Amino acid sequence: MTAIASGGGAEMDQAPGAAAGVRGTGTVAAIDAAKRLFSFNGPGADVDQVKSGPKVQLEKLKVGDKLLATHVEAVAIKLVTAKK
């Protein structure tokens, strides 16, 4: 498993922010093609369920396939001066 982090300043008209993520391998445990959902066993004993986007070729995925997954969370912040 690999941890990923990035962040930094922003231009004057953009909010600063940061992103952090985790990358790891997993095995496909179940597929619900009608709802475009699949579950996979990640590191440890946890099972994650993911909704796949329209570009994902879900019909090529099979139970037992190994995946390299990256989970990323991002935060944007905007500070403004309070009016008195």
pLDDT in tens, 35-81: 999 898 877 767 888 888 888 888 899 999 998 877 777 777 777 88
Check: CB of residue 16 under 8 Å from CB of residue 9: yes
> pTM for the whole thing?
0.58
Alpha carbon dihedral 26, 29, 33, 34, in 10-degree steps, equals -120
- Partners of 22 in beta bridges: 3, 71
Residues 3 and 47: their CA atoms lie apart, in Å, by 19
Q: Looking at the domain 2-9+16-76, which fold is it?
A: OB fold (Dihydrolipoamide Acetyltransferase, E2P) (2.40.50)
Helix (H, G, I), strand (E, B) or coil at 59: helix
- Residue recorded with tokens 């990923």: 4
- Partners of 7 in beta bridges: 18
